[in-house]
Chain A
Amino acid sequence: MGFDYDKYIRPGKLPHIWCPGCGHGIVMKGLIRAIDALELDKNKTAIVSGIGCASRLPGYMDFCTLHTTHGRAVAFATGIKMARPEMNVICVGGDGDGVAIGGNHFIHACRRNIDMTYLIMNNNIYGMTGGQFSPTTPYGAKASTTPYGNPDPPFDIAKLAIGAGATFVARGTAFHAAQIDKLLAEAMRHKGFSVVEILDSCPTTYGRRNRFKSVVEMMNQLKDMAVPVTAADKMPAEQLRGKVLTGILYKESKPEYVEEYRKLVERVRAEG
């Protein structure tokens, strides 16, 4: 009892800069517990991010880390995995980083099935830059760039990942903290491109603008929204309206990109 997070945090880095009630801290703790459960070697684990509040995560983590440019985490991570296949590669970032500017990298990494885990902290907004709408901002929600309500329907990140070919897709929430490490550990155990979407809170730029009275109210929404995928089968359609499924949503086994690429190189070399 009483998990020792300090052994995975760079000395002197706490307290972190995230706002009061920002879910990113809850997610980072889940990632640490998952890494601990799998006993990953710090020197053989790379944590890679783009830009955004969520993307500040690797700065706190005492591992091989890379804080890259906005939307490009997956591209850098692909380079690491290709050059050093023995590394455990974990990509992290927000919804803006992952499915707006980085959306193209995201779908193609899913398609390639390269062996890494992508943790997307989906707070439905661009938190860092003051609350512009993202591709996951709900229809009708307010952002600094949609002051009259968002006219766009949102992406469902998990469905996008499944459609694009990811071989492991899971979803959790910042409220369901005890599940985060379980989902991430399963994702990291999986060979191939695994996506874990955690529905998250940005009280500062999303909550306030959308009339959430407090962080607690945002957490309650996450609590009420989530339906475990294992329970959904037995529920009538009307009970599932407005809900999101959580848990492991998809899993399959397919050839992995780095191995396929190595085989190709060997075959071509042998043929001379």
Chain B
Amino acid sequence: MEKKLPKIEINEKYCKGCHICVEFCPTRVLEMRGFTAAVKNLEACIACMQCELRCPDFAVTVTG
């Protein structure tokens, strides 16, 4: 059975490129792409919510 992956949305209009979500993701799911955060490796996401909790700019939402 295929693993159901969480959904990570990054609101590029809100993201200010602080790197917090990227650096503190325990499984290195995210990366910086230019000035905004982006999803690099969704398969590794353990839905711990730390990126959503720590984003100062309301730019990350993890669901599913």
**Residue B44 CB within 8 A of the other chain:** no
Residue numbers in A under 8 Å from B54 (CB-CB): 26, 175, 177, 219
* C-alpha gap A45/B64 in the complex (Å): 32
- B residues 29-64 with Cβ under 8 Å of A? 47, 49-50, 52-58, 61-64
Q: Is the interface of B mostly helix, strand, loop or mixed?
A: loop
Contact of A26 among B16, B56, B64 (CB under 8 A): B56
Closest to B64 in A: A1
Binds B, one of A15-23, A112-120, A229-237, A250-258: A15-23
- A residues 1-54 with Cβ under 8 Å of B? 1-3, 5, 9, 14-16, 18-26, 29
Residues B20 and A29 in contact, CB atoms below 8 Å apart = no
Residue numbers in A under 8 Å from B13 (CB-CB): 15
Convert A180-221 into 0s and 1s, putting 1 for each residue whose CB lies closer than 8 angstroms to a CB of B.
000000000000000000000000000000000011100100
* C-alpha gap A20/B35 in the complex (Å): 11
* C-alpha gap A100/B19 in the complex (Å): 32
Convert B4-21 into 0s and 1s, putting 1 for each residue whose CB lies closer than 8 angstroms to a CB of A.
001000000110111110
Given the known A-B contacts A15-B13, A214-B19, are A178 and B53 also in contact in the complex, defined by CB atoms under 8 Å?
yes
Closest to A201 in B: B56
Closest to A19 in B: B16
Residue numbers in B under 8 Å from A14 (CB-CB): 14, 58
Closest to B49 in A: A1
Residues A215 and B63 in contact, CB atoms below 8 Å apart = no
For A, the interface residue count at a CB cutoff of 8 angstroms equals 26
Residue numbers in A under 8 Å from B16 (CB-CB): 15, 19-21
From B49, B55, B58, name the one whose CB has the most chain A CB atoms within 10 angstroms.
B58
* C-alpha gap A177/B48 in the complex (Å): 12
* C-alpha gap A23/B20 in the complex (Å): 10
Given the known A-B contacts A1-B49, A20-B16, are A25 and B58 also in contact in the complex, defined by CB atoms under 8 Å?
yes
Shortest distance from the beta carbon of A222 to any chain B beta carbon, whole Å: 11
Residues A25 and B57 in contact, CB atoms below 8 Å apart = yes
Residues B14 and A2 in contact, CB atoms below 8 Å apart = no
Shortest distance from the beta carbon of B26 to any chain A beta carbon, whole Å: 13
Residue numbers in A under 8 Å from B6 (CB-CB): 1
Closest to A27 in B: B56
Given the known A-B contacts A15-B14, A16-B57, A29-B58, are A2 and B52 also in contact in the complex, defined by CB atoms under 8 Å?
yes
- 17 pairs, CB–CB < 8 Å, chain A vs chain B: A1-B6, A15-B16, A18-B56, A19-B16, A20-B57, A21-B56, A25-B55, A25-B56, A25-B58, A26-B54, A26-B56, A29-B56, A177-B54, A178-B53, A214-B19, A219-B23, A219-B54
Contacts from A to B (Cβ < 8 Å): 1-3, 5, 9, 14-16, 18-26, 29, 174-175, 177-178, 214-216, 219
